[in-house]
Structure 1
Amino acid sequence: MTHRLILFRGMNTGGVRVPVGGQRAMAEAMGLKNPRTLAASGNLVVESGGATATLEREIEAAMETAFGLKVAAMVRTPEQWAELIAANPFPEEAASHPAKVLAMVMKAGIRAGAVQACRDLADGGERVEAAGGVLYFWFPNGQGQSAIFKKATPRLLGMGTGRNWNTVLKLAAMVT
């Protein structure tokens, strides 16, 4: 058994609401060990011996069965999470303004042309880079004011879910 980080896309935002206690109960019913959540933001950490792709499918099916929701889940190992942290192309920005750096974990890769499309949308010093199948964003004026964020949809980027650098580090602490 090792830790698995489970990131839900759009959980507890945009009208998709599942109480964190319900997420933990669902994980326990699935036989996953030591389920814990980070705030109410679609982050679940469990212990499992299962492969990440298999666990993604099982979690998505359980979410639909338990809550009637089709929610994309992205599962990562602690090693993959450490690689995500190490690959951050904006380390100075993350150190000084962690809420303005976003790592977008992709379900099935980054769509061709996504990085350039985001760069074309960028305004006010915004930047985007891709590394290891993750999109990293620097939003100097905040994500809510971002020209990229307002237009970057799964159709443009691929299916993914973003976490600001504060959350990235808190999740890392949960699995170490």
Structure 2
Amino acid sequence: MTHRIILFRGMNTGGVRALVGEQRAMAAEMGFKNPRTLQASGNLVVETGMATAALEAAIEAEMARRFDVRIAAMARTPDQWAKLIAANPFPNEAADHPSKVVAMVMKDGIKDGALDAVQALCRDGEAVAAVEGVLYFWFPRGQGDSEIFKKATPKMLGMGTGRNWNTVLKLGQMVGV
């Protein structure tokens, strides 16, 4: 058994947020140990021996069956999460303004040409970098008014979900990173 961080894409939209509390019960009924959530933004931590791809598929299928929602799940081990944290190309920005640095965990990698396309959207000091299949964003003025936030869709980037640096670090603490 090892910890797994499971991130869901789209948990804050379309009334799905209400499901977060029910996810712990779902995970326990699926046989996962010590299920817990962080915030209402689609973060589930469990202990399991299941392989990553099988875990993602099982969680997605159960979310669809139980709640009638189609949501992509991305699972990572503590080692993968530690590498994600260590690889952050914006460490100074993350230390000073953690809510303005975002790590986007990709389900099946970054689409070809996506980095160039999203870099072309950068304005006012914004920056994006790709490191080992994770997109890292620096939003010095916040995400809300960013063209990146408005236009960088899964069609452009590939399927992924972003978490600000505060959440990245909290999830790391939950799994002992």
Give the % identical residues. 71
- The residue aligned with 2:54 is 54
Give the letter for the 1:128 counterpart.
V
Structure 2 residue 38 is matched with structure 1 residue 9:
no
- The residue aligned with 2:25 is 25
- The residue aligned with 2:155 is 155
**Separation (CA, whole Å) in 2 of partners of 1:61 and 1:131:** 29
- The residue aligned with 2:166 is 166
**Separation (CA, whole Å) in 2 of partners of 1:9 and 1:81:** 17
The offset of 1:145, in angstroms, is: 1.4
The offset of 1:147, in angstroms, is: 1.3
Deviations 1:13-64 (A, max 9, x none): 3543343221001101100000000011100000000101110000000000
SS at match of 1:145: coil
Question: TM-score, normalized by length of structure 2?
Answer: 0.97
The answer to whether the 8 A contact 2:4-2:75 is kept is yes
Structure-to-structure mapping, 1:1-176, within 5 angstroms: 1-176=1-176
Deviations 1:79-99 (A, max 9, x none): 000000000000000000000
The answer to whether the 8 A contact 1:126-1:139 is kept is yes
SS at match of 1:17: helix
Question: TM-score, normalized by length of structure 1?
Answer: 0.98
**Separation (CA, whole Å) in 2 of partners of 1:20 and 1:113:** 34
**Separation (CA, whole Å) in 2 of partners of 1:145 and 1:169:** 24
Residue range with higher mean Cα deviation, 34-43 or 18-27: 18-27
**Aligned CA-pair RMSD:** 0.9
Give the letter for the 2:124 counterpart.
G
Give the letter for the 1:137 counterpart.
F
Structure 2, gaps ≥5 residues long? none
The answer to whether the 8 A contact 1:81-1:172 is kept is yes
Runs of 4+ in structure 1 off by over 4 angstroms are: none
Residue range with higher mean Cα deviation, 68-77 or 16-25: 16-25
The answer to whether the 8 A contact 2:17-2:40 is kept is no
